[in-house]
Structure formats: C-alpha cells, structure tokens
Amino acid sequence: MTKVWFITGSSRGLGKSLTAAVLKSGDKVAATARNTEQLDEFVRRYPDQVHPIRLDVTNKEQIHAAVGDAVQHFGRIDVLVNNAGFGITGAAEAFTDEQVQSQLATNLYAPIEVTRAVLPHMRKQRSGRILQISSIGGRVGGAGLTMYQAAKFGLSGFSEALSKEVAPLDIKVTCIEPGGFRTDWAGSSMSFAPEIEGYEQTVGGIRKFLESGAFVPVGDPDKAAKVMVDLANHPEPPLHLVLGSEAIGILQRADATRQAELEKWMQVSLSTDHDESENFFESKAGKVYQIMKGI
C-alpha cells in the first residue's frame, strides 16, 4: 500500500535525503520547508507524488494549515516525520534569551505541535507512524549543547509517553537518535552563544573543534533515510532507534555510568520509603503499575 508521508524540513540535510528516499520508494510526500523553491527538484522529478508546502514550524497557525493542506491533497497522513531543527553551541549562562527560545521553539515545541495536529487524523484512521528525529543528545548530555539537548531530552520524554497513549490506536512512535551525520548540522546550520570566561576547557574546546572543520561525522544521511523508509513498514518498530557507531559508543558508556551510579546510591534511594511501606515495585500495586505503564 502506498503511504503518505508528512516531513518537516524537507529541503536540507537528513530531511532532504529522506524525502528523496521516500519518493524513490513510490510513496507520496507532503514536503514542507520555509522556502518551497528548494523543493523544485522533487516537484520536477515526482510531480504526482510530492506536494510542497511552505511551513515555518515555529508558527502554530502555519502548522495546522499545512497539515490540513496535506490531508486535503492526499486524503490522509500515514507517516509523520518531525525532522526540522538546528543546533547551537555555548555555555548555558551565555545564551541570549532569543537563542534559548529559538532552540525550544524549533526543536521541542514545534514537533509537539505538529504531532498534536496530525494525531486527530491518525486517530480516525486507527493507524499511523510517527518518527521523531531526536538525537543521541536526547539520551546523553554533553558540554556546550545544553539548550539543544534540553529540547531533545524533552522530545524523547514526550514521545515515550505518547507511544503508550496511542498504542491501542495502532499508532506507533519511534525516536530516531543519530550521532554525527554528514549534513550541515555542525557546519553552516550551527550557531554559537557569545563566549565568556571560565569555560575554555569544556565549551571552548567543543566550539574550537566544530569551527576548525576537524569534525568529520561517520554517519551517512542517505543510509539513515533508507533505514527510516524500511522502518515505516516494519510491523514492530522500536521506541528508540540509535543510528551510527558514534552514537552507539556514547550511549553504551553513558548507560554503564548510570547503572554504576544507581547501584552506588541504591541504599540512599531506598532509605526514603516510608517505614510502613513495602518496596513499591515488589508490591501488588507496583506490579499493576508496571503493566499499565509498560515498564
């Protein structure tokens, strides 16, 4: 069955690679971008499969108009991909108010609102796939990327909770969590906070590394796009899908550190239970809770 995709940020980076892969597969795409002229190549090659839509994902009215346009044109949306986003590097205290707001608006509030706009259509269909383009930075924090990663951690939390809400509707949610990929994320799309004293060894080192051009990501966006096309057809997609050997290594080290910390402080954690309580997760109520929450 031919699927209809709604992809934000279709004109650049991973979104462009994904749009190309989806169209090549024979599916249809409501391709969104702030500048739809950048989608002309797709329109020329796939005039019957692609519908370009102008969209600034930070504009709520445009989001709902774009989703309505896509449904009116194609009749449905089967796969939503929240891809639009950008990064910013700097010390947490150094970001301007505008930089903080732009990170949260684009990387967190926007995918939440796009998802909320698409959900009523998927609910009526009793089917759908939602792919949230998060980041390994939505699972592991690193110096210099506090605002970007705050947004991505938030997106992962939203998506994980959402997946449990919509499971009975046959709507499946996956957080795509790439490491470094060969897009312009760390290049022309990257912006920086003002430099301030005291962070030379942490944030300063990351900034110099990115600005030097020495960072050569291992990830191939075209290969990632193929994985996502295949994922949309998988009967049991994962909730989290980490992409790239760099991301795998980062996550494995972080998980080991977290587990060690949990065990080290376990007795302190358990000491805060009320004296009259039994261990929650060993209790009947705790077991019911685990079943209900899918823990």
pLDDT at 86: 87
Q: Is the pLDDT of residue 186 over 50?
A: no
Q: Is 148 a catalytic residue?
A: yes
Range of the domain at 169: 4-252
Q: Is the pLDDT of residue 285 over 60?
A: no
Tell me 242's DSSP state. E
Between the alpha carbon of residue 194 and those of residues 47, 95, 204, 213, the distances in Å are 45, 7, 11, 20
- Which of 109, 148, 159, 199 is catalytic? The answer is 148
Q: Is the pLDDT of residue 64 over 70?
A: yes
> Residue 17 is part of a domain; what is its CATH number?
3.40.50.720
Is 267 within a domain? no
Written as six digits, the tokens of 142 are 């690193």
pLDDT greater at residue 85 or residue 26: 26
The candidate with the shortest Cα–Cα distance to 135, out of 13, 234, 6, 261, is 13
pTM of the model: 0.89
Is 153 within a domain? yes
Residue 193: band (very low, low, confident or very high) from pLDDT cuts 50, 70, 90 = confident
Residue 66: band (very low, low, confident or very high) from pLDDT cuts 50, 70, 90 = very high
Is 172 within a domain? yes
pLDDT greater at residue 201 or residue 211: 201
pLDDT at 167: 97
Q: Is 152 a catalytic residue?
A: yes
Is 281 within a domain? no
* Mean pLDDT of all residues belonging to the chain: 90
Q: Is the pLDDT of residue 288 over 80?
A: no
Query: What dihedral angle (degrees, nearest 10) is formed by the CA atoms of 246, 249, 251, 257?
Result: -140
pLDDT at 188: 61
Q: For 224-244, what is the mean pLDDT? A: 94
Is 150 within a domain? yes
Is 181 within a domain? yes
Task: For residue 28, give the 3-state DSSP assignment.
Answer: strand
- Which of 11, 17, 134, 159 is catalytic? The answer is 134
Is 67 within a domain? yes
Q: Is the pLDDT of residue 3 over 60?
A: yes
- Which of 3, 16, 28, 152 is catalytic? The answer is 152
Q: For 43-50, what is the mean pLDDT? A: 97
Is 264 within a domain? no
Q: Is 134 a catalytic residue?
A: yes
For the chain, how many structural domains are there in total?
Answer: 1
